[in-house]
Each structure stands twice: as C-alpha cells, then as structure tokens.
Chains A and B, each alone.
Chain A
Amino acid sequence: MCDIFALSAGVNYTAQQYLPIFAEKSKRNMSGWGIGFFRDNEAFIEKSAEKVYDGEQVHESFQRLARVVDSRIIVSHISCPLSGGRHTAHNHPFSLSFLDHVWLFVHVGLIDGIADYKTTNEPKIDVDVYPARVFEYLRDQLMSYLRYTPYGSLGASVVKAIRNMLAEYPGRYAFVLANESVLFAFCNFRQFMLLRESASFGNSLVLTSIKEGLSDNEWISISPEPDTLGKLLVAAGPDVLYLGDVAHGSLL
C-alpha cells in the first residue's frame, strides 16, 4: 500500500526532519515517489519512478529535496506497485488549476470503477492511473458547486464532493488535497497520524499514513468511525480548523 506525507505551516518550512524518515518507513513501496510544494502560489512537483529507498539509502534526490524544499504546504507520496507508478508521470502528487488556485493531490486506496470516469472539464490529467481520475472527479464536483456560487463554503463543498464520490464509486480512500493555503485530508480506511509541532519546529502540522508516525512524539491517530463515511481534517497553517466525521446527512 502506498503512503502519504503532508505538512502545513504558518510560514515556509522545510520538512528535512520528517521526509527522510517517511521514505525509510515506506521502503516497502518501491515504485516511485513524489514531492509537491508551493512557491509564490504556484505548485511545483518533483517526482521519480525510482525506488525511494534502496541499498539502505534514501534516494539521493529525495534526500536533497527534503533539505531544500520550503513551503507552507508540502505533500509527498511513495508509491506501491498497485498504484501503477511505472513511469515518473504516474507518480503522485498530481496538480490541477481550478477555482483560482493550483491544487496538489495525493491518494492511497483502492476504488472499483473510477478508472473509467470521464471528466467534463479541462485540463485532463494525461496519465492512465485511477488516482488521477479521483482528482478530476473532485475537481469537477468542486467546480460544479463553486463556479457560480463564489461565496459558498469550500469546506462544505469538499464534503459534498466526497459524499457523492463515495456513493458513485465506493472504495477505500485516503487522500490529501491542498492549495497554497489550505489542506484537506480524508480517509475512510487505515488512519492518518497527526503531530502538531511547536514554534521551535516551525509551528506546523505534520500528517502521515505511516501508522506509527515519524518520530517518538505522541502522534494523534485519525481513524474513520464506524457508521460514518470517513474522517475529514481541514488544516490552515499550524491549525486544525476542522476535524470530524463525514456523516451521511451532514454538510460538515
């Protein structure tokens, strides 16, 4: 199973403390890696189809990027063979521009049928892997809600999009969707582990799908509750703005 890492901070921050540990702990995932971040509100992605960890060493480029990338939001993904990361382009994160933002997306899971989803909007993500279709589906939903109602709630629209996606394409989802200011993390299986770092460590939130977390600190487990559709976290800078269940009838 692939793994996810995300960081959200109040100011540009480097994840050099966590990204190499993330790579090491995800070393069973040998099919590629990617790191996404923002600079001047533009999204940048560095990715590779090579193993992130080989011969007891973290991939050199991954290591260097971990030291150099500084951003208020950083997302990373390490691919397992299931996700089809045979070529660099197949690896996460993916990026799309919509609703006046550039968005980054990383996903872990297994979903039947969504590989056949045909987006009605442009641009399309020109790779034949189902997480790209998940991202396009979410984009299409958010645009349908917010394109003509610009003062609608982005958070409520994400919840509605997730609910529709789960109804239309049931499956296992754990994803991070982020623009330059806000990060949404959703899971309906496995768990996310969350750590709030103090000001001396950048006043940041660190999130990962690695079940034991990435340090000896006390990580908080975010797991979906039974009889709900999953758990949603909304983060802005170092703050958890919202953490709750996506229930069948709720808007948030």
Chain B
Amino acid sequence: MCDLFALSAATNYSAPRSLPIFAAKAGRNLDGWGIGFFRKNRAYVEKSADRAYHEGRFHDSFQRLARVVSSKFIVAHVRLRTSGPIDECHAHPFILQFREQDWIFAHNGKAPAIEAYRSDKFRLEDAVSDSARTFEYLLDGIAARDTESGDAPSLFRAVADTSRRLVEEYPGNYNYLLTNGSVLFAFSNHRQFLLLKGSKQLEGGLLLTTLEHGLSEESWTRFAKEKESAGVLMAILGSDILLKENL
C-alpha cells in the first residue's frame, strides 16, 4: 500500500528530518516517489519511478529535495503499484489547473471501480491509474458545485459532497491529499492519518502521514473515519485543522 506525507505551515518550511524518515518507514513501497510543493502559488512536483529508500540508502534526489524544498504545503507520496504501470508519469503527486489555481493531489488506496471514469474537463494525459481518475473526478465535482451554488460556493462543502459521492459511485479505498496552495484537504475512508503539531524532534507546523505509528516517538494523534460515515475530511491551514467533518 502506498503512503502519504504532508507538512502544512504558516510560513515556508522544509522537511529535511521528516521526509527521509517517511521514506525509510514506508520502505516497502518500491514503485516510485514524489514530492509536491508551491512556489509563489505555482505548483511543482519532483517525482521518480525509483525506490525512495533501499537497503539503508535514500534515493539521492529524494534526500536532496527533502533538504531544499521549502513551501507552506509539502505533499509527498511513496508508491506501491496497485493500478497503472510503474513509471514516472504514474508516480504521485499529480498537478492540474482549476479556478486559475494549481492543484496538487496524491492518493493512497485501491479503487479499481473509478478506472473507467472519464472527465470532459480535466485530463491527466497518459496516466491510467485509479488515482489519476480520482483527481479528475474530484475537480469535476468541485466545478459542478461551483456552477450549482452560484457566486460564492463553499469550497469545503464542495470537496465534502464530492468525496461522499465518490465513495458512493465508485466504492473503494481512498486516502487523499488535495491542495491549491491556500488550503490542504485530507480525506480518509480507510487506514488513518496520523497528525502531529509542534514537533520537538522533526519540523514545526503540522505533520501528517498515513504511516500507522507516525514519524517520531512523539504523541501523534490518529484520525480515521467513524463507523457509519463515508470518510473523514479535514481542511488544514498552517498548523491548524480549520474544518473537520465525518461525511
């Protein structure tokens, strides 16, 4: 199973400690890695089909990027292929443009039902995985809500309603991270997210990962969907959980 990492902070931050720990702890994921971040509101992704960590050694680029990337939001992914081929194109995160903004998306889970989904508006050219289609589905859903809701649609509501519909229409396992550089959405309907604020051992800001025991010996807080819900959605801003809802 792939794994996810995010850092969210009020100012630009690097993750030179937590990103390598994330890669090492998620070392069973053999099929690629990616790091997404923002610079002056433009999204950038560096990714590879190589292993992030192998036999005690980090991928050289991964290690260097962990030291250098500086952003209010950093999203990382290590991949264990369950859908789509193993190549750089299918490594996460992905980027799409929407609402005159860049959006970064990374996914962990298995949702074969959505592989058949086709978007009219959003295309991750050449990517044929469930994750690529999930990203397109989410943006389609948010765009549809924009149209339905008129001039001032609530973005959180749009993401929440679209995520609920995603799980209903295309049942599967979804943990995803979605950010436009202003806010980070974290959704989970399987496994969990572990969160840590104000780490003494790693970086400041808010750290998030799907890894079961977190990335340090500190007291990580677990978020998972409640029994009867379709999933839990959080909107994260800086080091705060701004909005949270069991869908």
The chain A residues found within 8 Å of chain B, CB to CB, are: 10-11, 40-41, 100-101, 150-156, 179-182, 194, 196, 198-199, 203, 218, 220, 222, 233-234, 236-244, 252
Of A233, A241, A243, A244, which contacts B235 at CB under 8 A? A241
Asked if A239 contacts B152 (CB within 8 A), the reply is: no
Contact of B221 with A151 in the complex, beta carbons under 8 Å: yes
Which secondary structure dominates chain A's binding surface? mixed
Asked if B242 and A234 sit within 8 Å, CB to CB, the answer is yes
Q: Which residue of A lies closest to B181 (CB)?
A: A10
Whose C-beta in chain A lies nearest to the C-beta of B223? A151
Contact in complex: A242, B154 (CB < 8 Å): yes
A252 with B243, Cβ < 8 A, contacts A151-B221, A241-B183 known: yes
Which one, A156, A181, A220, A240, contacts B154 given CB within 8 A?
A: A240
In the complex the two chains form, is B40's CB within 8 Å of A242's CB?
no
Partner of B241, one of A11, A154, A218: A154
In the bound complex, how far is the Cα of B152 from the Cα of A218, in angstroms? 12
CB distance from A159 to the nearest CB of B (A): 10
Q: Report the number of A-B residue pairs with Cβ-Cβ less than 8 Å.
A: 103
Query: Which of A154, A156, A181 has the most chain B CB within a 10 Å cutoff?
Result: A181
Q: Does B163 contact A (CB under 8 A)?
A: no
Q: How large is the interface on B (under 10, 10 to 19, 20 to 34, 35 or more residues)?
A: 20 to 34
Contact of B101 among A10, A100, A154, A180 (CB under 8 A): A10
In the bound assembly, the distance between CA atoms of A113 and B215 in angstroms comes to: 50
Complex contact A154–B242 (CB within 8 A): yes
> In the complex the two chains form, is A181's CB within 8 Å of B157's CB?
no
Contact (A41, B155) CB under 8 Å given A10-B182, A181-B237: no
Interface flags for B208-223 (1: CB within 8 Å of A; 0: not) read 0000000000000101
> Using Cβ atoms and an 8 Å threshold, which residues of chain B touch A241?
154-156, 183, 235, 242-243
Query: Bound complex: CA of A237 vs CA of B243, how far in Å?
Result: 15
List B contacts of A154 (CB < 8 A): 237, 240-243
Which residue of chain B has its CB nearest to the CB of A198? B100
Q: In the complex the two chains form, is B100's CB within 8 Å of A239's CB?
A: no
- Taking CB atoms, residues of chain A closer than 8 Å to B221 are 151
**Do A11 and B40 have beta carbons less than 8 Å apart?**
yes
Q: CA–CA, A222 to B221, complex, Å?
A: 37
Q: What separation, in Å, do the CA atoms of A121 and B77 have in the docked complex?
A: 42
- Is B180 part of the contact surface with A, judged by Cβ < 8 Å? yes
A179 to B11, CA, bound (A): 12
When the two chains form their complex, are residues B156 and A220 in contact, meaning their CB atoms are under 8 A apart? no
25 A-B pairs, CB-CB below 8 angstroms? Answer: A10-B181, A11-B40, A41-B11, A101-B238, A150-B198, A153-B243, A153-B244, A154-B237, A154-B241, A154-B242, A181-B237, A181-B240, A203-B41, A234-B156, A236-B235, A236-B242, A238-B101, A239-B183, A241-B156, A241-B242, A242-B157, A242-B243, A243-B154, A244-B154, A244-B157
